Structure 1
């Protein structure tokens, strides 16, 4: 009898825990309502310099590797890959259109103002969610749990929106 009680208690706990988790639909609703706000937030001043650009990186981010057109970052054991094309205009929607045509995403939303075109993409890849944020010729990607997607999107938009290309590097 005691064994049955323990098994029942564990099963009930699992049901309650899974019910408390966030769903893809809830994440999509939040992103749908907050994406514009995230892109319109005040961007921080760059605090790191590289060969072709300056960028703001939060204190908990470390540069793992810098290569031509790529920057590999890490924060709390999570990897981020930033790709940049200095020749691509801030209004470029190339990456967005490629994603849209592939039709391999859970969530995709674009943002545009007078100076830039941006997007947010979320896709289930195996057991994690691939989060990709782009502005013009810059895109940043990471993999995360569903309940961290909103936080990652906001953080990644802040980072790539701060990129300021150095003029000599783009000529």
Structure 2
């Protein structure tokens, strides 16, 4: 009888925990809304500089590797890739167009424009609970693999980072 009681309690706890976890639909909507708000807001002050680009990195985020157009960032135990390539002739949508050129479908493919700026957020499922997340603003994008529970939080700081990007010759 005691075992049945304990099993019933555990089943109840797991049912409550399962009901509390976000669905992909809820997380997609939350992610798009928050990223759009950050894109439309004023950029945060920059605190990092590489070559001709300055940008804001959040606390506890470090640059692990750097090459001509890519930075590998570490935040906690997660890895992010910041790609930057300014091509004025191709326009400020060129990085987005290269990113979305593949045949694989995106669960989220939202774009934003304001005052001549272009931004976007992309999400696609790559495994059971893993999602490719991309945020971009003009000629800068940030990419990671994220769990469903971290999707909107990662997307927020990622958009803050790409939105803050400033080119030295602007």
Normalised by the size of structure 1, how large is the TM-score?
0.86
What secondary structure is seen at the aligned counterpart in 2 of 1:15? helix
What secondary structure is seen at the aligned counterpart in 2 of 1:102? coil
Distance 1:116 1:90, change over 3 A: farther
Alignment of 1:97-108 (within 5 A): 98-99=99-100, 102-108=103-109
Unaligned runs of 5+ in 1: none
Normalised by the size of structure 2, how large is the TM-score?
0.87
**In structure 2, what is the equivalent of residue 79 of structure 1?**
79
Distance 1:151 1:86, change over 3 A: same
Paired residues in the alignment total 168
8 A contact 2:69–2:83 mirrored in 1 = yes
Alignment of 1:1-171 (within 5 A): 1-88=1-88, 91-96=92-97, 98-99=99-100, 102-126=103-127, 127-167=129-169
Q: CA shift at 1:33, angstroms?
A: 3.4
Q: CA shift at 1:27, angstroms?
A: 1.4
Q: CA shift at 1:93, angstroms?
A: 4.7
Structure 2 distance, partners of 1:98, 1:79, is 18
Q: CA shift at 1:21, angstroms?
A: 0.6
Distance 1:55 1:97, change over 3 A: closer
Distance 1:90 1:44, change over 3 A: farther
Structure 2 distance, partners of 1:149, 1:119, is 15
Distance 1:37 1:115, change over 3 A: same
Structure 2 distance, partners of 1:94, 1:141, is 12
Distance 1:77 1:47, change over 3 A: same
Per-residue CA distance 1:127-156 (angstroms, 9 max, x = gap): 312210012222101122212211111111
